[in-house]
Chains A and B, each alone.
Chain A
Amino acid sequence: MKRAVYLDHAATTPVHPRALEAMLPFFSQRYGNPSSVYSLAQEARQAVEESRVAVADILGCPARDIIFTSGGTESDNAALKGVAFAARESGNHIVTSAIEHHAVLETCRFLEKFGFEVTYLPVDECGLVRVEDVEKAITQSTILVSIMLANNEVGTIEPIAEIARVVKDKSKLVGSRVFLHTDAVQGAGALDLDVNELGVDLLTLSSHKFYGPKGVGILYVRRGTPFLPQQSGGAHERNRRAGTENVAGIVGAAAALKLAAERRQSNGQQCQSLRDRLIAGIQLKIKRAHLSGHPTIRLPNNASLCFEYVEGESILLNLDFAGVAASSGSACTSASLEPSHVLMAMGIPEELAHGSVRFTMGPDNTEEDVDYVLSIMPGIIEKLRAISPLTEAGES
């Protein structure tokens, strides 16, 4: 029987059985519209509000500051556009980094079309944003800073709490209020999400990254943050996100986030030991394999590597033949035909970026899974290098 090893938890995760169990009654039995008055509807209302409290407990904020959305992309869009258009009177400048998720970067490009100016901060070779760059970038016209909590491709963890301090200090100095958003999608289940510890005004989460269902996002908006809703309609979510609530999805997301928070320490340790075993094994067994991202300040489950002379999609296809699911930042795995903007921003040469592979572990993975990958990976790279015209040129 073909072995199946899932090592793409940064792409998505299976719904946790307990989250699924919590969701099921809300499809066909407790299906009421939370906005209606009768008991059936009020049961759904209660479930949504209990979910909001559960999420707020983990984020350390009042429940009223939580907005449920359709996913991480919507939360990022709502955060950036919501603040930008609401705070337009006080300024038109936004600061972000070159390695954000497309949901943030493309929203910034959209805002540029409406007259906003965006500074895309560079990162160092490990993928870290420099705190002093954030400070320097803030001017009198800055209204919003958006820096991710951890990068989805290379796993580097950004110094958000430090960035929050300089944003606060600098905004006092320039005499305008600057709000801080973080896309924390990759941090859930691995990092502390307390919004006061982080010092953020807005925070994005995506349910399917932490063993919740797809199609559910969370946006935290600190009270007092200017926010223009991007979706018009009914008065749902305290007038900040129109549309009948995805009751089952919200219940599943809250249940999954609670489980992820409870198991954060133990899952983190387990993933980290698997991650380190995989990285060490690959570097021992395969020449010219380079770890990308920060060596230590990285998500416990992220092993991103670049292999010289070979192309990422070819590696992924061979891994798939052997039952292993992983990702790549290669151009050939995207529709854009460009290699990963994250690897480019870190100064990795294009030909090396094309040979990137990302393995992301979950609590269900075992040492046997990692050892299996280590047993097949050298052969895959060897086979592709034997075909590649770059191998001889590079080795000679």
Chain B
Amino acid sequence: MYSDLVMEHFSNPRNVGAMPDADGVGSAGNPVCGDVMKLFIRVRDGRIEDARFQTFGCGAAIATSSMVTEMVKGKTLDEALDISNKAVAEALGGLPPTKMHCSNLAAEALHRAIEDYRSRAPA
């Protein structure tokens, strides 16, 4: 059902946990649908220096969360905004079709975290 890379990220998720002093926080999904993702970013000189996540959800939800936190580190905000849900899925070697819509929320949460950062510190 899942690729080895999905299982690897699910078993050993990277960058787990809240970031109390985050510069931006974004959420996606809701508990009723069975997936909630919260993404935290720390921004230095226009680049994402660190990212962490908290996720309630299935294997795909946890793996995509873990993957997106790895993908954004070191990227400028504009580069990070180019990351799509699809790109995260591709980086994981693909997801089962039923998981593409419901559990693939990581990029959405990332975009909201960037919006949150920009709304706090207008350029």
Contacts and interface: CB of A to CB of B under 8 A. Distances in A.
Interface of A: 309-314, 317, 321, 330-333, 335, 337, 339, 350-351, 354, 386-390, 392
Interface stretch (B53-61, B72-80, B83-91): B53-61
A392 B18 contact: yes
Interface in B35-60: 35-38, 54-60
Nearest to B56: A388
Given A310-B56, A332-B103, 12 more contacts: A311-B58, A311-B61, A314-B10, A314-B59, A332-B60, A333-B58, A339-B34, A350-B31, A387-B13, A387-B54, A387-B56, A390-B36
Contacts of A354: 31, 34
Contacts of A351: 31-32, 34
Interface string B1-34: 0000001001101001110000000010001111
B102 A389 contact: no
Given A332-B103, A392-B18, A309 B56 contact: yes
Contacts of B13: 387
Residue from A310, A321, A337, A339 with most neighbouring chain B CB atoms (10 Å): A337
B119 interface: no
A310 B103 CA distance: 14
Nearest to A388: B56
A12 B102 CA distance: 28
B58 A330 contact: yes
Contacts of A350: 31-34
A371 B97 CA distance: 37
B35 to A, nearest CB: 7
Secondary structure class of chain A's binding surface, majority of residues: helix
Contact of A387 (B55, B60, B103): B55
B107 interface: no
Contacts of A331: 33-34, 102
Given A332-B103, A389-B36, A313 B58 contact: yes
B34 A335 contact: no
A333 B34 CA distance: 11
A297 to B, nearest CB: 29
Contact of B57 (A332, A333, A335, A337): A332
B105 interface: no
Contacts of B37: 389
A331 to B, nearest CB: 5
Contact of B34 (A332, A386, A392): A332
Nearest to B30: A351
Contacts of A312: 58
Contact of B98 (A310, A314, A330, A337): A337
B98 A335 contact: yes
Interchain residue pairs A-B with the least CB separation, the first 8: A332-B58, A351-B31, A389-B54, A313-B58, A354-B34, A388-B56, A389-B38, A350-B32
